[in-house]
Structure 1
Amino acid sequence: MMKFICLVLLLCTAQSTLGAWQKLDGGLKHVSVGRAGVWGVNNNDNIYYRRDTYGDNANPGTTWTQIAGGLKQVDVGDDMVWGVNSNDDIFYRSDINEGDQDGANWVKIEGKLKHITVSQKGHVWGVNSGDNIYHRIGVSGCSKAGSSWKLIAGGLKQISVGSSGVWGVNSGDQIFYRQGTFGDPVEDTDGSGWTHVAGGLKYISSAEVLYGVNAGDLIYYRAGVCEETPVGTSWVQIAGRLKQIESLSPVVWGVNSNANIYTKEDDA
């Protein structure tokens, strides 16, 4: 039965790359998509929210609305947006909901990170300027801020948590999967160790489909990722060039080296 499920997921993953890229207005250096909508930051660290994408990530939205504050990177979950600024200070956006899709304020959290990630179940991980890895303990619907940072063994320059588990890449563009995190379990787990996965990527995005881009901005998805084989089977290249990519079924978003913004349907 598990082999059959893996085969079905593999076929679905293959279908997910069929859509054509659509260029949107605006310019961003980083974009993220979650059930709280599509958010991004530009080269001046200005923050933007894409109107009409909250709770409807399949919608490409209408216009970009600037949000007060300055961040160099953001990541979007379910009613949660976290980010870091040029000083590596950490923030989350309070009171995001259907009635107030912009949220209310940026709330500063203790610690320093250069990159942060939040899953659709509210699990938060990050890496600092020394490539140390941290897991935020105690984040929940009742406690958006969580309680503390836990240092996790290993070293990564970028990390992503989502339905495919916790994945990351190190300073040599080597790829790693955190054992025991596939499916983004409701029980927030540290996992049990890192598994090196063949290939080379500078940025990776964990969701229903695992995407990544390499040093040449070539785009790949990981085939065969499922509960039985959480590390998948192979990397499959798709059309286009992006420097950064994020996805949440049924859409993929990304930006290229010229800060152009693109999206496409997974078609899964």
Structure 2
Amino acid sequence: MKAVAVFSLFLSCLSLGHGWSCKEAPQQFPAAQIDAGQGKVVLRDIDSRAYFLSGSQWYRLGSVSLKHVSVGVAGIWGVDSDDTVYKYIAGDFVRTTGQSLSQVDAGGVSQIVGVRHNGIYCLEGSAASAFKQVDTLPWSRLPGELTYFSCSPTNTCWGVNSAGSIFYTTLSPTCKKDPWVHVPGNAKMVEVGYDGSVFVVNSSGQVFQRTGISSDTPQGTTWSNIQMCVSVNHLSYDLGHLWIVSKGGIILQCFH
């Protein structure tokens, strides 16, 4: 009954005129975190189980309990409650060594990035793609401090720190980074889509899209609020679809 009540609130949001149309996505209730890339969608529920979306059904990914899962060019990656990093290989998650992470992102050109204790880390694309068995991986530490980090195949990366400040940079598949650019605004998480589109969720559960992104202003110019009538916990964007997880665990699929 709780899921029905929460989704009824979502339905009343669809006529707010924010430029997006939303519909009920296939549900794996209660969801906690979602990630999309290259047409694939994965999620983690509140019981730390990872799932992959096929058609209108969610299917369990492997047997490892995870607190964050991500999908991209270099495959499906995740981290568990002990901050151990895993890659999904041949039907299950295979443990890696070499660096612990609290959040991981596989959305870059081929490199994997993540954070732990405010430190920022990057794994070169060649090492990420070649990994196929339990082994030590050569992570590089990047300058700066972040609590959430996300990259796209356009070489653009965005992050937020413990104070909620937002930053932009570019990062190559070999983990070569340009200087950080501070972007006005405040957020608890940021996600970059396959085409470089940027969305954030703030501490109040509000959603914003970065507008004005171009080759001349890669960091964009303003934030545009995408109004929702319930608080949002997590989101991801890929190929024109914005995937939203509410604080109540309901999943929405939104598009222009």
Q: Shorter-chain TM-score: which interval?
A: 0.7 to 0.9
Distance, in Å, in 1 between the alignment partners of 2:144 and 2:83 is: 20
Q: CA deviation at 1:202?
A: 0.6
Aligned to 2:94: 107
1:198 equivalent in alignment to 2:184: yes
Q: Find the partner of 2:165 among 170, 174, 178.
A: 174
Change (3 A) 1:125 1:228: same
Aligned to 1:74: 69
CA distance in 2, matches of 1:254, 1:194: 28
Shift of 1:252: 0.9
Contact kept? 1:164, 1:230, Cα under 8 Å: no
Instruction: Tell me, in whole angstroms, the C-alpha distance in 2 between the residues paired with 1:113 and 1:211.
Output: 22
Superposition pairs for residues 244-255 of structure 1, below 5 Å? Answer: 244-255=234-245
Shift of 1:264: 1.1
Unaligned runs of 5+ in 2: 1-17
Unpaired segments of 5 or more residues in structure 1?
Answer: 1-16, 52-60, 95-102
The answer to whether structure 1 residue 152 and structure 2 residue 147 are counterparts is: no
Contact 1:137 1:147 in 2 (8 A): no
Distance of 1:164 and 1:258 partners within structure 2: 33
Q: How does 1:78-227 map to 2 (within 5 A)?
A: 78=73, 80-94=75-89, 103-110=90-97, 111-119=99-107, 121-128=109-116, 130-139=117-126, 143-144=130-131, 147-162=137-152, 163=154, 165-178=156-169, 180-181=170-171, 187-207=173-193, 208=195, 209-227=197-215
Please tell me the residue identity of whatever aligns with 2:239: S
* Aligned-partner SS, 1:139: helix
Aligned alpha-carbon RMSD (Å): 2.0
Partners of 1:170 and 1:20 in 2: CA distance: 31
Mapped contact 2:28–2:45 kept (Cα < 8 A): no
Structure 1 residues 129-162: Cα deviation after superposition (integer angstroms, max 9, x where no partner): x110001124368514694110111110100011
Matched, 1:46 2:41: no
Corresponding residue number in structure 1 for 2:32: 29
TM-aligned CA distance change 1:36 to 1:174, over 3 Å:
same
Letter aligned with residue 22 of structure 1: K
Displacement after TM superposition at 1:228 (Å): 1.4
SS at match of 1:212: strand
Per-residue deviation at 1:170? 0.5
1:21 CA drift (Å): 2.0
Aligned residues: 227
Amino acid at match of 1:72: K
Matched, 1:64 2:58: yes
Contact 2:39 2:238 in 1 (8 A): no
- 2:10: which partner in 1? none
Per the TM alignment, residue 22 of structure 1 is displaced from its structure 2 partner at its CA by 1.7
Give me the whole-angstrom Cα distance separating, in 2, the residues matched to 1:250 and 1:259: 22
What is the distance in 2 between the residues matched to 1:142 and 1:112?
18
> What TM-score, normalized to structure 2?
0.82
Contact 1:135 1:151 in 2 (8 A): yes
Q: Cα 1:223–1:19, aligned 2, differ >3 Å: closer, same or farther?
A: same
Q: Could you tell me how far apart the structure 1 residues matched to 2:39 and 2:128 are?
A: 14
Percent identical pairs in the alignment equals: 23
Whole-angstrom distance in 2 between the partners of 1:213 and 1:138: 28
**Does the 8 Å contact 2:112/2:125 carry over to 1?**
no
1:35, 1:79 within 8 Å by CA — same for their partners in 2? Answer: no
Distance apart, 1:204 and its partner CA: 0.3
Are residues 85 and 234 of structure 1, via their aligned partners in 2, closer, same or farther at CA, if it must alter by over 3 Å?
A: same
TM-score, with structure 1 as normaliser: 0.79
